[in-house]
């Protein structure tokens, strides 16, 4: 008897398959296949690592510019990796890019250690956060997703996590669609660039592969008002997995509607440093059940963590010339105004009580009557018409409301417009006293306006400004 032994590569062995399609806007499941089977998530795990990193930055535990020291544990992680060395320091933002785009294991471990102090402590936080998100059948053991006993999740739970990544931290979601990214020490390429470049509307999210897990992927695509998430566990290859995900995304777009309601998932309770929330859940709950959140009494938090201001690379030597320049501008402007005020320009209307607001009833002196115009003779003694009571005639005032203004030009920047307004106000204090300086941004520049004037005040101010060779025109009530 002859025995034949066939040696089959581990990579050719089929991993258990699971899939789920979800309408991202409402969270409605459109298709499911073994969606609650607990399987190895591989690098889909890094979605949770990055989610907690975004949460930590938002709550002031760490900043994107924080320099992270690489431990021996992080540096020794197997590929895929960025190639970090023990003792090296690198900004958190580069670790985030490497984990999101290249799926670097050393970067993911470094992120976890920088936030929680150790990878084990970070894994506990990952599990607390997972339960708070409603990921009821997920258990994390590490920050990167390499195969480890008990490190398991489901297609449903990973779809839920992907939806929260999209809507809870939209300011960071663009990371997952970058074909390449600067990771500090080098430029890295996206592990899912083939699907991103070939499927219309695809913009993320995360790939994963180990021999035990197979080829995994959580993908999202947006077309018009519709967004669909498709998750696959256990693909046989990158090409077959991508083809299956594309098929599932197509199915999702066929089954959803542009008018489907949008229900934002909402962020879970903050479970980081200083948090008083504990999430309790059985280790193996029934599919579809939700985590229970239990608040326990603890000592009150004595300090509030706030995000630190991002450092600006500007020194005192850089600021000094700017301050001096502004001071010089103000001094020169005041000297110029004093010079102008000392000599009244020829042809400028005289300053009257009306211009300084002393008597509301005062008016500008009317022009002199032309010579040769004779008044009609009026002799009351020869008038035969009986005396009549005085008749009062009224009309709607066009000058009482302070809804008029003066425009003195359009400028390329807000600063330039404000500077001209200040200079003009100091130059023509008599007629512009009490006016509001206002800059309006338009399609072609910034309009410099004085507002809050009556019609008479606006007319007088514009005539006086024109006498000073300052171009202006009146602005009526809108």
- pLDDT tens across 120-145, in order? 999 999 999 999 999 999 999 999 99
Ranges of beta strands (E only) in 263-399 are 277-280, 292-295
Report pLDDT digits (tens) over 130-186: 999 999 999 999 999 999 999 999 999 999 999 999 999 999 999 999 999 999 999
On average, the pLDDT of the chain sits at: 80
**Predicted confidence band of residue 272 (pLDDT cuts 50, 70, 90):** confident
Residues of the chain within CATH 3.30.70.1070 domain(s) are: 399-478
**Structure token digits, residue 426:** 């100091």
**Predicted confidence band of residue 323 (pLDDT cuts 50, 70, 90):** low
Report pLDDT digits (tens) over 201-210: 999 999 999 9
The answer, yes or no, to whether residue 401 has pLDDT greater than 90, is: no
The answer, yes or no, to whether residue 393 has pLDDT greater than 80, is: no
Query: 213 near 13, Cβ under 8 Å?
Result: no
**Structure token digits, residue 175:** 């990371």
Closest CA to 56 of 260, 245, 308: 308
CATH number of 10-295: 3.40.710.10
**What's the mean pLDDT in 13-36?**
92
**pTM over cut 0.85:** no
Residues of the chain within CATH 3.40.710.10 domain(s) are: 10-295
Closest CA to 426 of 317, 316, 339: 339
So which residues are the catalytic ones? 43, 46, 103
**Which H/E stretch holds residue 22?**
strand 18-23
Query: What pLDDT, on a 0 to 100 scale, did the predictor assign at position 255?
Result: 95
Query: What pLDDT, on a 0 to 100 scale, did the predictor assign at position 427?
Result: 82
Query: What pLDDT, on a 0 to 100 scale, did the predictor assign at position 300?
Result: 40
> Class for domain 399-478, per CATH?
alpha beta
């Amino acid at each position: 008897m002859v025995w034949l032994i066939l040696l089959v590569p581990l990579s050719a062995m089929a991993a258990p398959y699971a899939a789920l399609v979800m309408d991202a806007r409402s969270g409605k499941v459109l298709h499911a296949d073994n969606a609650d089977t607990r399987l190895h998530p591989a690098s889909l795990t890094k979605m949770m690592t990055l989610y907690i990193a975004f949460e930590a930055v938002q709550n002031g535990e760490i900043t994107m510019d924080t320099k992270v020291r690489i431990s021996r544990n992080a540096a020794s992680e197997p590929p895929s990796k960025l190639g970090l060395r023990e003792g090296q320091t690198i900004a958190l933002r580069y670790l985030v890019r490497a984990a999101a785009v290249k799926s670097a294991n050393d970067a993911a471990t470094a992120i976890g250690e920088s936030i929680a102090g150790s990878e084990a402590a970070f894994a506990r936080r990952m599990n607390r956060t997972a339960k708070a998100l409603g990921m009821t059948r997920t258990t994390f053991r590490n920050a990167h997703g390499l195969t480890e006993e008990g490190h398991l999740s489901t297609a449903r739970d990973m779809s839920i996590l992907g939806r929260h990544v999209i809507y809870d931290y939209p300011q960071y979601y663009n990371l997952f669609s970058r074909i390449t990214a600067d990771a500090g020490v080098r430029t890295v390429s996206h592990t899912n660039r083939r699907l991103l470049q070939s499927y219309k509307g695809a913009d993320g999210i995360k790939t994963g592969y180990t021999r035990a897990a197979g080829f995994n992927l959580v993908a999202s695509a947006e077309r018009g008002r519709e967004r669909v998430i498709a998750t696959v566990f256990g693909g046989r290859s990158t090409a077959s997995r991508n083809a299956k995900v594309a098929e599932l995304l197509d199915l999702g777009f066929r089954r959803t509607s542009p008018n489907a309601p949008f229900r934002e998932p909402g962020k879970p309770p903050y479970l980081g440093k200083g948090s008083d929330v504990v999430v309790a859940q059985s280790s193996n709950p029934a599919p579809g059940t939700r985590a229970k959140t239990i608040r326990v009494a603890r000592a009150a938090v004595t300090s509030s963590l706030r995000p630190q201001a991002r450092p600006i690379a500007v020194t005192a030597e850089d600021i000094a010339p700017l301050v001096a320049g502004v001071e010089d501008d103000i001094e020169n402007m005041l000297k110029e105004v004093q010079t102008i005020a000392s000599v009244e320009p020829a042809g400028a209307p005289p300053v009257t009580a009306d211009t300084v607001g002393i008597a509301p009833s005062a008016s500008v002196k009317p022009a002199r009557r032309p010579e040769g115009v004779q008044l009609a003779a009026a002799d009351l003694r020869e008038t035969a018409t009986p005396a009549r009571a005085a008749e009062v005639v009224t009309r709607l005032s066009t000058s009482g409301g302070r809804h008029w203004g003066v425009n003195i030009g359009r400028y390329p920047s807000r600063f330039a417009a404000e500077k001209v307004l200040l200079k003009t106000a100091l130059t023509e204090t008599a007629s512009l006293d009490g006016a509001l300086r206002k800059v309006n941004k338009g399609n072609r520049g910034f309009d410099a306006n004085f507002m809050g004037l009556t019609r008479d005040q606006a007319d007088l101010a514009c005539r006086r400004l024109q006498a000073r060779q300052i171009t202006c025109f009146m602005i009526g009530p809108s």
